[in-house]
Amino acid sequence: MSLPSDLTELLRQPDALAIAVSGGVDSLCLSAAAVAARNGRNLTLCHAVSPAVPDAATKRVKAFATKRGLTLEIVDAGEFSDKRYRANPVNRCYFCKSNLYGTLTRLWGDRTVAAGTNLDDLGDYRPGLQAAEEHGILHPFVQARMTKADVRTLARSLGLGDIAELPASPCLASRIETGLRVEPAELAMIDAVETALRTELGEVTLRCRRLHTGLAIEMDRVLMDSLNSNRLAELTARAREASRQHGGEELTVTLRPYQRGSAFLHA
């Protein structure tokens, strides 16, 4: 298929391009578009692995790169060595992205580094965008005026299959309520709970929130309303079991409708 002309030009301009790939639809669609625009020339995919990155996302990125014969670099961005990030302040994302983009520009300073930010992302409070600006990160979808819906449409036209329909899933640290320290063990527990529930429900909008009061399992309201009380009780028990297996024995588990950013507490 033919890419939008302005996106094609943006992706062709850099002599060498490195794309920060998280494993979600935005960054994988940007990677596929870059392959089409550049014929794979001087293109590197960069994926940061840390306790905050679900294992399923890393597997998805590796499978994507292998299938297309692309160069994939796995890096440790080092955010877990940053006490500011670990403290989980309101602007935690700034410290995360500062470490990520600092690592990528240090390792690939001869390349333009791009990310899959889309136009809709600009409407949220995203301190990570400040870090991106400070490190000169390219946002081709933003410059091409593409929304999330546009990205999904492009992903379908590029033949990305199920990737095009992936629900949004930010890093696991976003599930931890502001002010609670970001701990690898708790991130592993969150990932285990979400993985267990997705085994039951499929790729649906789902969050396991670590709150000061315990765990809140959030799912799409329409899906939740379609499930009877027995099924909801089964899912709650499944989440509690997965939590206990990863050190959450004393945590209460509740089920509630999904609310975007509900673990984020403004000052």
Predicted confidence (pLDDT) per residue in 1-53, tens digit: 578 999 999 999 999 999 999 999 999 999 999 999 999 899 999 999 999 99
Give yes or no: 171 in active site: yes
Q: Checking DSSP bridges between strand 43-48 and strand 71-75, what pairing results, if any?
A: parallel
Which residue ranges in the chain fall short of pLDDT 50?
A: none
Give the model's pLDDT for residue 192.
95
Give the span between the Cα atoms of 110 and 113, in whole angstroms.
9
DSSP 38-73: HTTTTEEEEEE-STTS-HHHHHHHHHHHHHHT-EEE
CB 150 within 8 A of CB 118: yes
Residue with tokens 């599930």: 175
Q: Which domains are present in the chain?
A: 5-165 (3.40.50.620), 172-257 (3.30.70)
DSSP H helices, the chain, are: 5-12, 25-38, 55-68, 83-86, 92-107, 128-134, 140-143, 148-157, 184-201, 221-226, 229-244
CB 209 within 8 A of CB 263: yes
Give the model's pLDDT for residue 171.
93
Report CA Rg, the chain. 19
Nearest CA among 125, 123, 116, 76 for reference residue 96: 76
Contacts (Cβ under 8 Å, ≥6 apart) of 144: 4, 6, 7, 10
Give the model's pLDDT for residue 264.
82
Q: Does this model's pTM top 0.95?
A: no
CB 106 within 8 A of CB 75: no
Choosing from 29, 46, 96, 171, the catalytic residue is 171
